[in-house]
Each structure stands twice: as C-alpha cells, then as structure tokens.
Amino acid sequence: MSCTTILVGKNVSYDGSTIIARNEDSGDGEFEAKRFVVVQPDEQPRHYTSVISHLSIDLDDVYPDDTAMRYTAMPDAVAKQGIWAEAGVNAENIAMSATETITSNERVLGADPLVQYAGAKGKPGDEGYEAEVPGGIGEEDMVTLVLPYIHSARQGVERLGSLLERYGTYEMNGIAFSDVDEIWWLETVGGHHWIAKRVPDEAYVTMPNQLGIDEFDIDDAFGEQDSHMCSEDLREFIAANHLDLSVESTSPFNPRDAFGSHSDSDHVYNTPRAWFMQRYLNPYDEVWDGPDADHSPMSDDIPWARQPERKITIEDIRYVLASHYQGTPYDPYGKSGDERTRGLFRPIGINRNGQLAVLQIRPYMPESCRSLQWIAYGSNAFNTLVPFYSNVDGTPAYLGDTTGRVTTENFYWANRVIAALCDRAYGKTVSAVESYRQATGAAGHQLVKAADEQVARLGSQDTSTANTEVRGILGTANETMAKQLKEATDALLDGVLFTASMDMHNSFRMSDN
C-alpha cells in the first residue's frame, strides 16, 4: 500500500501530545472502502489466519499469557484481503499505525528474502506434489496481532519485532507506536530483520514510502536501548552481507544507505512528498526552491527527523497530508507551472486516499478521555478531518457501517462522491470545501472541549478507561460529532453537485423572453 506518515514528538506538538498520523492509500487502480470500529476482547481472534499469506498463528501457543484489550480500528469494509485494521488506540491509550510501505534494495533482499506465500502444486498423492508454503505477516495482520496486547509503545516494538523474527514478512513496512510519553518507528529490513528508533521529543518525522531512518546507534540498540532497538542478529547480518556503506568508521551508521533505495522512481513518487512536508513546516530554515535549493524534490538526503520552526497543530498535519504541492509548479490544480511540471510528482492528497487516522494522546487529560482518533475518509484534497474519542464501546453508524455499496448515508462514500465532483471543478468548488473543512474542524474542537468539561464535572475518582460512565459521555459526543458531520457533508455534496451539474457539456442556456 502506498501511504504517507508524519510523527510529531510531544515537545513540538501544539498541546504536548504525542501524535502519529498516516494516510492509508489504496494500490494503483483500487479504492478500498473503510470503516471505523471498536473491537471488543471477545471479538479478538486467538487462532489467526492471514488471507494473503495463508499463515496461521495460534496465539494461545505463542503468547499463552495474553489478555486482549478493547481497541479501535479502521478495517476494510469488504474483507476480501483480510482485516487490514490499519490504525487504532487500545484501552490503555497505546496507539499503533500499520503500515507505511517502504522500499529496500537488492543486497538486503538477497541476504534476507521476503517470506512469500507459495501455492500448492499438483494434488496430494500425485508425483511431484508440493504442499503450499505460507508467507509471513504483513499490513493485513499487524494491528490485529499486536495492538490489543501492548501496554506501551516500546512494548509494541518488542512484540512486533518478535513476530517478524519468528514468522517473517512478505513486504517492507514501517510501523508507528505511541503512548503518552514516547513515539517509536519500526522499519522492516528484508524478510526477518528490523530496526526501530524513538522519535525525538523535539522533532517531527516525515515518511513517504521509503525506508527513512538515516542515523542509527547500533551500540544503543544492543545496550541501553534508550532510543534504538533492532533484531537480535542485526550486527552480524550487516557485517556478513557487507551492508554498511559508511566510508569512515567514526561516522554514524546510516540505515537509509544500507537498507534503502535511491531509485529514479523514488524521485517522482517518494522524495517530493518529504520535501513538501518539510518545506511547509520549516519554510525559513533553508532554501527549498530554485537552482540554489538546499533540498529539492529529488534529494535523497532529506532528513528523517527535524525540529519544526513552530509547534505543529492538528490542522498542520491535515494540511500536509492533504497536500498536492500547493504554491509550487507541481500542483496538478495550479496555474504557476506548465504541462511538464503540473502532475510531475505523486501528490500526498491523492485520489486513492482511503482513510487518514491522526492518533493524539493528550498528557493533560485523565486516562478515561486521553486519546482522540481524528478521522478523514476519501481523497484528502476534498475532505475534512474530525475528532472521535477512542475510549468507547462502539462507533457511529455514519463512520462504522460502510459496505461495498455506494451510498451517501455513510461518510466514506459521501467523501468519494464529493472528491470526484470537485476534481473536475476545482476552481469553482475549492472555497466551498475550505468552508466545510473549517466549520467541521471548529465543531470538532468545540465538541471535544465540551465533552472534556463534562467528564471533569463528574468528579469521579475512577479516571481509568474502565469507567463506564465516562465511556457513555464520550460515546454520546462521538454520535453528536457524526450527526453534525453528516449534516455538513450533505450540504457540501448538494452544493458541489449543483456546481458540477451546471458545467456539464450538454448544458444550454436560452432566455424565455
């Protein structure tokens, strides 16, 4: 899956929250409808079988002491390829987003091949029969196998790392974990190896479908593990396969050089996205445009982590994850470029955006209402981002009851229809979309503030996520948000449908006089 991720450390977010956010994008030529759900402990499978890789895992054997927690998730509405839970927050306010598809190189994949599914050949008993060989775990599986069982972001890295070492993976992926104090980013390296790095509290991270970590302290990973972790034999793996490309032994180990890619396609599909996000969040730190730019859209050395020039808001995150190179010659809707530059690079806000999850864990709130899951469906260039509490027993039907049937009675399909209409009439509909976005965003902030205050007025001694009275308040707030959201979305749809209809090619105007 093609996706885009931004991670925001607690010291540079606007309110001290840890924030992890990711667009889940469908593959080329596909559009996966999405749902927002709560998975209860008794719904969590203990014998798990992957649809794509045919891998079966008996969690009672692998983790006999596991106790599943309630968690939110963003699964596919049509589960033809499995669950694809993608992003959520569990009952202990631990968040996970999985996954960002990343790139590698031939040296890594030759040293540790991906664990691909191989179907059976022939029939049992026949000469030459070969039984099927299961593959490893992948994006379809990771949230379901990890999020219900972890009690910290660091523990998420450890659990997923152990699963990768045991079963392997059939794809290269990046996975984010967060709790109220820390954010960790894990990247798979070949079929069974992995590295993970703690996001600095004073920095943000941009990830555009490439292996991103550009500096890694192996001594820390095999020592205190203050900010680095890795698979058990990573040091030997690097040495045996000549993967360290450092020229000087005193220079930091660079995983992007060792494990990543620097292909021509990266310069069209990946690096421009990191360039635009950092250009927006650090506009004055360096020159971003022109022949004297410090970094261009094709630069391979755009930093993985960077301190922003000001604190980052939810609206900043929405903007960069909805962007299409506004203000540059590369904007497909712009007028400053030409036919060669417009549409040259892959936008972040693309037609194939399926869902955006912004997972915010607020340190100043009690555990019972600490976490918010901000949600957008469909193409981010034409949708809105709204907050929902994660500590609830269920989700509003408007966001949770998506099916494969096109209907404006749910948020996903309404946004898909709006985007298709607006794309052909961008100049005439963009102001309506902006007004809708601002109104729904403001309503979201207001509802969160009101619900937080209602929880505070309870004065309950039980500030845990187990407090059913608080969960009831938060569930009601979510329903109110969904109701207001539907009204605003219906109104926008009505307006852009009228605008698009007036510009149909078979229109004709003639006075009756």
Catalytic residues: 3
Gap between the Cα atoms of 475 and 492, Å rounded: 26
Give the contacts of 362 (CB within 8 A, at least 6 positions apart).
15, 16, 17, 180, 370, 371, 372
Helix (H, G, I), strand (E, B) or coil at 494: helix
Strands 353-361 and 386-389: unpaired
Gap between the Cα atoms of 275 and 282, Å rounded: 10
Amino acid at 118: A
Q: Determine what percent of the chain falls in helix, strand and coil, rounding each to the nearest 5.
A: 30, 20, 50
Which residues are 196's β-sheet partners? Answer: 186, 229
Tokens linked to 140: 């379809």
Gap between the Cα atoms of 401 and 179, Å rounded: 28
For residue 243, the number of C-alpha atoms closer than 13 Å in the C-beta half-sphere is: 27
Gap between the Cα atoms of 273 and 325, Å rounded: 8
Q: What are phi and psi of 295, to 5 degrees?
A: -135, 135
Location of structure tokens 């898909």: 416
Count of Cβ atoms closer than 10 Å to residue 81 Cβ: 15
Count of Cβ atoms closer than 10 Å to residue 473 Cβ: 22
Tokens linked to 456: 């505070």
Q: What are phi and psi of 434, to 5 degrees?
A: -65, -40
DSSP designation for 133: B
DSSP string, 189-236: ETTTEEEEEEPPTT-EEEESSS-----B-HHHHTTT-SSEEE-TTHHH
Contact status, residue 173 vs residue 139, Cβ threshold 8 Å:
yes
Amino acid at 61: D
- Closest CA relative to residue 161, chosen from 142, 179, 148: 142
Give the contacts of 295 (CB within 8 A, at least 6 positions apart).
275, 278, 286, 288, 301, 302
- Which H/E stretch holds residue 372? strand 371-377
